[in-house]
Amino acid sequence: MPYNPMLVAPMRADMTRMGARELLTAADVDAALGDARGTTLVFVNSVCGCAAGNARPALAHALRHGVKPDQVVTVFAGQDLEATARARQYFADYQPSSPSMALLKDGEVVHFVHRHQIEGRPPESVAADLTNAFDRHCGAAV
Amino acid sequence: MSGHVFHPGHEELHGVTVVVTGRSGRTYVGRYHEHGDRGLVMHDVAIHEPDAEPARDAWLERQQRFGVRVDQRHLIVPTAEVGEIRRLGALAS
């Protein structure tokens, strides 16, 4: 059962404040990911303070890096059920967890951050992994 | 940035994905909830049997890379079965 929307509003605001676009329906997800070219970071948000409390600041930190994905979108696990289920179809090789992050390039998953790779790590450490992935996959080819 | 925690006051490993080495030879990977009189309570647990293929190390590597493939949503591992407990994220990949 989803949490009270008022309780999760600050967690949604964290995401939009850093420039992520919320995908609230399956149609939103398909519009964003369906035939996406370039790079997209999908953040699966979560109420869980054990990991999401670090994951959101980590992504915010990483997005201040010079190289970053063309678009950043987010679905909220346990809240926006339809959108989350549809988003996970785009990275179906990976078991669902939340929070988690998938970096897609031309529709293919090129980097995935599971919940267990976030737990107990400071945001700066998770952000460093993300920016390394951004450098590898989001930079211009030379 | 909100660091909201909905469940404060729990054990350090609460909510953390751990690898539990069972004295039976089984291995359990899942989220640690609490360890009390009932045993170790875990959520979203993958279980590896001692003789199963792939072997334990390869199986663990797969859980790390592709995420935990859940066999049991909720599981209580008896305390007598609980051996070493390590964070999945801390294992060398």
pTM: 0.89
Rounded CA-CA distance A2/A55 in Å is 20
User: pLDDT (tens digit, 9 = 90+) per residue, A70-89?
Assistant: 999 999 999 999 999 999 99
User: pLDDT (tens digit, 9 = 90+) per residue, A85-101?
Assistant: 999 999 999 999 999 99
The ipTM estimated for the assembled molecules is 0.82
Which residue type, as a one-letter code, is found at position A54? N
Domain ranges of chain A: 5-130
Rounded CA-CA distance A47/A61 in Å is 19
Mean pLDDT of chain A: 94
What pLDDT does B5 receive?
46
Mean pLDDT of chain B: 90
Question: Residue B60 is inside which H or E element, if any?
Answer: helix B56-66
Res B1 pLDDT > 60: no
What pLDDT does A48 receive?
77
At the second CATH level, the architecture of B17-90 is Roll (2.30)
Q: Is B87:B28 a contact under the CB 8 Å cutoff?
A: no
At the second CATH level, the architecture of A5-130 is 3-Layer(aba) Sandwich (3.40)
What pLDDT does B11 receive?
81
**A-chain residues near B64 (CB < 8 A):** 114, 116
A138 part of the active site = no
**A-chain residues near B92 (CB < 8 A):** none
A48 part of the active site = yes
- Which of A36, A47, A48, A110 is catalytic? The answer is A48
Q: Is A109:A80 a contact under the CB 8 Å cutoff?
A: no
What pLDDT does B8 receive?
58
